[in-house]
Amino acid sequence: MSKKKVLFFVEAMGGGVFTYITNLANGLSEDFDVYVAYAVRKQTPINYKDYFNKNVHLIKVNNFTRQISIHDIKAFFEIKKICKNVNPDIIHLHSSKAGVLGRWAFNGKNIPVFYTPHGYSFLMSNISPFKKKLYRFMEFISAKRNCTTISCSVGENRETQKLTSRAFHVDNGINVKDIDAVLNNQDSNKNKSKVVFTIGRISTQKGPKVFNKIAESLPNTKFVWIGNGELRSQLTSPNIEVTGWKNRSEALKLASKYGIFLLTSKWEGLPMSLLESMYMKKVCVVSNVSGNNNVIVNKENGYLCNSIDDYAGTIKRLLVNIPDKVVDNAYEDVITHYNSTVMAKSYADIYREALKEK
């Protein structure tokens, strides 16, 4: 029997979404014939094709753009053409742009359509009130279409249920075998360097101003930001090192040397860098926002913070002593739940159920 075809449409192919897409596509590729229709972003690795299994089909969408533009009309017809050529059994839309275009391009009657937001755009804090209302309205009317939304965290699912009753939630998961291969199965916990680090783009979402203020309040502690971005100039404290862009393997190897993972995000879906740090047995200190607080239980598998003083006080205590139990609990959470094997199986079950109902 031939495999059922699953077609992904993804515009935001960078950062955590890229890691998620590769993990899910590769995880599904044994049981499904997987096609990924994508756009390249600045954050997309140069050798991005190498991250996918050889049996995953890659199709470039020429007219996908991040911002709303005239290209969206061209993209609308382009994705319809791609769908006609692939003739999939399942369509899965990833991120807001693909989600809006795809829900109007496909009616979901003959082919089940799914959508994963990866962080709703109307929750961004760096956009105007008008744009927030516009994005929320676009999600609201698009949610009326014949499509099921699969959120990647409990918090995202809570927002989804305000828009539609056709909602599931599957937590993000990381490929632990890939991380082991990069780190050569070394025990990251053996290196308890008291360096504070983060991984990601230096953008409004990741809260570089807060990161900088925390570093200023702890002048004798080294901070490392693994990544680069448009707001690099906000990281002015002399004890902060910015590494510049690194590919995933380089970033993980650097992270493995450090002891305290700091995430000052203003909003999140479910951050892959947090899950990767938990698996590498780094103690995690994160902002108390949806996405982070769906994973971290304060003082049980990490630390949730609400202010600069909160962050600084927590890090000061951890510089003296990192409780093994907190680190071990976080690691076990990834092993039992937040991994790509569990994630792929959950999606496969949802797809199969949808195909039964056709």
Residue 107 CA to residue 157 CA, distance in Å, equals: 22
223-243 pLDDT per residue, tens = 999 999 999 999 999 999 999
Q: What is the pLDDT of residue 128?
A: 85
- In this model, does residue 49 exceed pLDDT 80? yes
State residue 30 phi and psi, 5-degree precision.
-75, -35
Which structural domains are found in the chain, ordered by start? 4-173+339-356 (3.40.50.2000), 176-336 (3.40.50.2000)
pLDDT band of residue 358 (cuts 50, 70, 90) is low
pLDDT band of residue 2 (cuts 50, 70, 90) is confident
Residues contacting 276, CB < 8 A, separation 6+? 174, 179, 199, 252, 255
List, in sequence order, every residue forming a beta bridge with 37; answer none if it has no partner. Answer: 9, 59
Angle at 175 between CA 169 and CA 178, to 5 degrees: 165
4-13/32-40 β-pairing: parallel
For 71-85, b where at least 16 C-beta lie within 10 A, e where not — what string?
eeeebeebbeebbee
251-264 pLDDT per residue, tens = 999 999 999 999 99
**CA 94 from centroid of its chain's CA atoms:** 11
